[in-house]
Structure 1
Amino acid sequence: MRTTKDRIRQAVSFEVIGLLIAIPLAALVFGFELDKTSALAAIGATIATGWNYLFNLMFDHGLKRLTGSTRKSLKMRFFHALSFELGLMITFLPVIAWWMGIGLVEALIVDIAFVVFYLVYAFVFTWCYDTVFPDDDASLS
């Protein structure tokens, strides 16, 4: 199992790198002002960072209980990324609508775009992170 320090490093690095990519991309694609998009992304990153820590802790405990290890197969990595993003999407939708001053349908489109981006990003980032900072328990299986 990962240490608290490692989980914090993972969550913070995930969000910082993601923001550096997502903010200019979202502003460009949706035609939003960069400052308003940056603030929205900061709000989302704050929500996501807390969710990232809690979700990964719960996921690893559940995985270890079910399989005896925290090692993730390719199929499990897809499930991990999808379930993380669905939980976050439900929370972030009303925030997008309120902050950007748009309706729920428009906010849903923005939210889905963020989800698609972060689904791919979460999969790639987590795989890279696990490669650079392997979990000793995961290497046992």
Structure 2
Amino acid sequence: MRTTPDRIRQAVSFEVIGLIVVISFGTRVLGYSTVDFGLLGAVGATIATGWNYIYNLLFDHALLKYTGTPKKSVKLRIVHAFGFELGLMVAFLPIVTRILNISLMEALKIDLGFIAFYLVYAFAFTWAYDTLFPINQPFDKPGTEFK
């Protein structure tokens, strides 16, 4: 299993890179002010960072319990990414409407854009992170080790 400092590094790295991309897109392509989209990004990143830590911790414990290994297949990575984004959307949609002062339908369009971006980004980032920072330690179950 990953250590707490490693999980924190993963969550913070994910959010910082994502924030740079999202704020740039929101201001340059969608035409929102840097202040509004920056605030939206900061609030969203804060919520997402907490959710990232909790979701990955629960997901990894369930994965280890049911499979005996933290290894994720491509199919499981897709399930992981969708589950993360759907949970985050539930929390984030009302915040988008409030900060950008837009209708629920407009916020839903923006949120769906975020989801599309973050599904691909989460899939690629976690795979890259697992490759760059592999888990090389024994797990809770005796005799199981990720190699």
CA offset at residue 128 of structure 1? 0.6
1:26, 1:66 → 2: CA distance?
A: 40
- What residue number does 1:97 align with? 97
For structure 2, the residue ranges without an aligned partner over 5 or more in a row are 140-144
2:129, 2:89 → 1: CA distance?
A: 23
| Structure 1 position 140 matched with structure 2 position 146 | yes
Normalising by structure 1, report the TM-score.
0.96
Equivalences for residues 17-56 of structure 1 within 5 A: 17-56=17-56
Equivalences for residues 1-141 of structure 1 within 5 A: 1-136=1-136, 140=146
For structure 1, the residue ranges without an aligned partner over 5 or more in a row are none
CA offset at residue 33 of structure 1? 1.0
How many residues are matched? 141
Report the 3-state secondary structure (helix = DSSP H, G, I; strand = E; otherwise coil) of the residue aligned with 1:42.
Answer: helix
1:56, 1:106 → 2: CA distance?
A: 30
AA aligned opposite 1:125? F
AA aligned opposite 1:136? N
Larger helix proportion, structure 1 or 2?
A: 1
Q: Which protein has the larger Cα radius of gyration, Structure 1 or Structure 2?
A: 2
Structure 1 outlier segments of 4+, above 3 Å: none
CA offset at residue 20 of structure 1? 1.0
**Two-structure CA RMSD over aligned residues (Å):** 1.3
Identity, % of aligned positions: 55
1:97, 1:106 → 2: CA distance?
A: 8
